[in-house]
Every structure is written in C-alpha cells, then in structure tokens.
C-alpha cells in the first residue's frame, strides 16, 4: 500500500536575541559583570513564553459555483480573510458547480472558478481540496476528477486552445506556478490527506514551546456511499476504504476531520440524511472524529452531536432563509452567505462562521483537543502504510441525475397530491355527515 501524502505546514519563525560585548578596561568589575548580565538577558528571553502563534488554519467553502455577484462578493471577502489569517488550504464539501460542468472545456471553469478566485497577490494560491456533490454528479463528473492532473499543469485556457499537453511536465509546472487561483485537487471520488503542523503549547522556547501535531482530512462522496449509486462494486470499495481509514486514524492523528457533500444532521432544507445517520454516524462516533463538514444546504451552521461538530459550510454563493425547525443540537444557524474558518491548535479546534459580505465572525465554536489513548506514535509509520491507497477509480457513464430542484418539485408535487386527497376525503366526509 502506498502511504498517504504528508504536507508540512510552514515552519514558524522564532525570536532571536543578540548581545553586544563592550570592553571596559578601566572598570574590571563591570567587565566581569557584563557577560553575566548578558547571559541572564538571553536566558530570560529564551525562558519567556514564545510569541509565535503556531497553528493550522483552513477554510470550508461549499455551494460556490453560480457565477453570481454574490459569489464574487464572498470570494473577495475570502481573499482578504485568507491573507490576514494565513490559511493553508481550502476544503470544498461538494456542491461545487450548479448543474455540474459539461467537460474539461466548459467555460464555467473560468467564469465560476478561475476568474472568481484568482488574485494577483496569490491570496488563494493554495490546494483546493474538494469532493463531488449532487449537482456535480448531474454533469460530466469524470472531467472534474481528471481536472486534478491538469490543474497543476496548465490553465483551462491553455488546455482549451491546445497550447499545452498534459504530458509536457516541465512547461506544465511553470504554468501552474504562474497562476493565481486555487489548485483544484480531486484525486479520486474519496481520498484522505495527512498533514503535520507545529502548534504553540504556550511553554517557554527553551523548553520547546511547540508541539508537532497531525491532522487527517478524510474526503468522502455521499452519493457513491448511497445504496442508490448504480455501481455497487464502487460503493463497496468506498465503504471498505472509509472503514479502514477511520479504524487507523485514531492511532496516528491528533485531529480527524471528515468532509462530504450531504450532512448527517442539519437544520437546513435537507434536515440531514437518514442513511448517513444510520450507517455513517456510528463509524464517526467510534473513530471519535473532531468535525464533519458538509456543503449541501445553503447555510452556515454548527451542530454538536456525540461530541462531534457537524458544520455546514454551504453558503458560498447564496443562502437559504431562516430555519423553521432547528436540530436539537444546533448551536448556531446563519441564513447569510459566507464560509467557515477552522483553526487547529494545541488546545483544540476553533470553528468560526464568517460573513461573506463583511468578513466579520458571526459565531465561534471551541472544541477541546480530544484524548486518543489508542494513539501510538512509535508505530505511526507502520499504521500510515496500512491506510488505503489513494488512486483514481473510473466510474462509467450513467443516466443524468435529477438535480436538487427537480427533487424538491417531485416531492412537493407528491405532497400536494396527498394533501388534495386528504382534503377531498375531509370534504366528502363533511358533506356525508351534513346529508345525514
């Protein structure tokens, strides 16, 4: 098995101290005392609490591909926040392009992704980890997966005009370096990515003061995991890989975060997913994951259930109205556009829901670092090597999926029919009683 890729967070800079030596020949006592004084100053600096605020930050952004003014407004706010907060990557929990894309040359790649999130200062020039959502599967889903190989090689304009072949590695690398938008990353329908980062423990620098911590980002496809997915062999493999990953994750990671399209629990329009509640939630609870990030519902929400933060980050371009009925574990529900900012520290996970128009924090949720007694650092490399291999599994073409709007219309029509039947029966019953 191939080991999972490991990315190291940028090393934190530390404060340095220098001393200036003076020769005081006329005063030998002072000359003897000065080195002692200098040593005390240096030791004082080294033993003081470190001012380096080391942690890992990333953004959750879902339901963004609409090409609207609202999407661009959120994107501009995101660029400012990303530059100020020094985020490391973006996690897009499905529902990327509304209606999906028609192929590699679809203009949506430029109008709803590259042009919107590009920045001359490179504010968002970072990995853009994603999974597919129901809208993406309704289009040419294969092109979204294959885009990963080309996104690090060329811009869509170069691909469309035939100026750059995917096999041209040297020119491809140069092209990727000159682009200022996020790097689309989707190596498979499901995958995992492991990272290490330094976290400030608040201790003295001379006593280290920093701790090397790890996080596993586990990306899953809720449509592939569904019993309705037309290719059962792919579904079975996806569940096998997920179960194996969640079994090993607590043994090697400080943080475990799962990213998917559909929510397990939600106060939004979906009200969660009963299949995920029955089959997935027990696995998440057993692995004691920290957070489950979804993007299906057009909302910003934090729900706490089984000591897991269920976070909805689906307001990247538009937002739904207020929730009529909230989940019992809902801590905050926002009905405006925005994104989620996650901060991983030595103390725990901090989740901030950020307004897409002002950049202000709407809500902050703090979750303490979880104790993982099963973690065995000495065997970490052995466990990492046992993780499922991340490789692309081709999925054959299938019939066009109905979008979420079609689903709503169908369910709404059925509901109206049922209501009409009940109303007719009630009227008939009333007339019958009146006639008697």
Nearest Cα to Cα of residue 340 among 281, 296, 299: 299
Q: What is the pLDDT of residue 19?
A: 39
What are the angstrom distances between the C-alpha of 423 and each of 418, 419, 428? Answer: 9, 6, 9
Q: What is the pLDDT of residue 375?
A: 80
Q: What is the pLDDT of residue 410?
A: 38
Residues pairing with 257 in the sheet:
217, 291
The Cβ of residue 191 has, within 10 Å, a number of other Cβ atoms equal to 24
Q: What is the pLDDT of residue 435?
A: 47
pTM of the model: 0.78
Each residue's pLDDT, cut to its tens digit, for the chain (436 residues) gives 444 444 443 333 333 334 333 333 444 443 443 344 444 433 343 444 444 456 899 999 999 999 999 999 999 999 999 999 999 999 999 889 999 999 988 999 999 999 999 998 999 999 999 999 999 999 999 999 989 877 655 555 555 555 444 444 444 445 455 567 899 999 999 999 999 999 876 654 445 556 889 999 999 999 999 999 999 999 999 999 999 999 999 999 999 999 999 999 999 999 999 999 999 999 999 999 999 999 999 999 999 999 999 999 999 999 988 888 899 999 999 989 999 999 999 999 999 999 999 999 999 999 999 999 888 767 788 899 999 999 999 999 886 665 554 333 333 444 444 444 544 555 445 544 444 4
Q: What is the pLDDT of residue 97?
A: 97
8 Å CB contact between 5 and 193 = yes
Q: What is the pLDDT of residue 153?
A: 58
Report domain 56-385's class.
alpha beta
What are the extents of the domains in the chain? 56-385
Q: What angle do CA 380, 131, 141 make, to 5 degrees?
A: 135
Nearest Cα to Cα of residue 189 among 396, 1, 392: 392
Q: What is the pLDDT of residue 161?
A: 53
| Rounded (to 5) percent helix, strand, coil in the chain | 35, 20, 45
Query: What is the side-by-side strand order in the sheet with 361-368?
Result: 183-185, 127-130, 89-92, 56-60, 338-344, 348-355, 361-368
Looking up tokens 């976070």, which residue turns up?
311
Q: Judging by DSSP bridges, how do beta strands 191-200 and 6-8 pair with one another? A: parallel
Q: What is the pLDDT of residue 152?
A: 59
């Amino acid at each position: 098995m191939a080991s999972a890729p490991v990315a190291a967070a940028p090393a934190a800079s530390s404060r340095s101290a220098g001393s200036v030596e003076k020769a005081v020949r006329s005063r030998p006592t002072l000359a003897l005392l000065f080195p002692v004084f200098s040593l005390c100053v240096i030791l004082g600096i080294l033993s003081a609490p470190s001012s380096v605020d080391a942690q890992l930050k990333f953004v959750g952004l879902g339901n963004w591909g609409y090409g609207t003014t609202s999407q661009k407004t959120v994107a501009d706010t995101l660029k400012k926040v990303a530059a100020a907060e020094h985020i490391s990557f973006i996690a897009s929990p499905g529902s990327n392009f509304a209606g999906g894309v028609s192929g590699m040359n679809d203009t949506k790649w430029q109008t709803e992704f590259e042009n919107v999130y590009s920045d001359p200062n490179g504010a968002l020039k970072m990995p853009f980890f994603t999974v597919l959502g129901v809208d993406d599967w309704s289009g040419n889903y294969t092109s979204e997966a294959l885009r990963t190989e080309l996104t690090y090689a060329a811009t869509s304009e170069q691909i469309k005009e035939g100026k750059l072949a995917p096999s041209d590695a040297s020119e491809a690398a140069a092209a990727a370096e000159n682009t200022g938008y996020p790097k689309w990353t989707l190596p498979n329908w499901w995958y995992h990515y492991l990272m290490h980062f330094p976290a400030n423990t608040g201790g003295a620098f001379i006593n280290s003061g920093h701790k090397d911590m790890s996080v596993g980002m586990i990306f899953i496809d809720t449509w592939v995991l569904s019993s309705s997915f037309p290719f059962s062999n792919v579904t079975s493999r996806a569940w096998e890989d997920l179960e194996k990953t969640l079994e090993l994750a607590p043994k090697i990671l400080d943080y475990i975060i799962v990213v998917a399209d559909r929510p397990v629990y939600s106060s939004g329009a979906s009200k969660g997913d009963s299949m995920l509640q029955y089959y997935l939630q027990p696995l998440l609870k057993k692995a004691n994951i920290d957070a489950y990030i979804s993007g299906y519902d057009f909302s910003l929400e934090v729900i706490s259930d089984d000591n897991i933060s269920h976070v909805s980050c689906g307001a990247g371009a538009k937002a739904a109205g207020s929730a009529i009925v909230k989940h019992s574990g809902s801590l905050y529900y926002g009905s405006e556009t925005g994104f989620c900012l996650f901060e991983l520290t030595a103390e725990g996970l901090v989740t901030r829901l950020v307004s897409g128009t002002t950049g202000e924090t709407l809500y902050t949720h703090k979750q303490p670092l979880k104790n993982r007694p099963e973690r065995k650092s000495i065997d970490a490399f052995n466990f990492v090597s046992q993780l499922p291999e991340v490789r692309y599994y081709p999925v054959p073409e299938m019939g066009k999926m109905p979008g979420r709007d079609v689903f709503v219309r169908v369910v709404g029509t059925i509901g109206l029919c049922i209501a009409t039947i009940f109303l007719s029966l009630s009227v008939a019953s009333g007339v019958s009683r009146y006639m008697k």
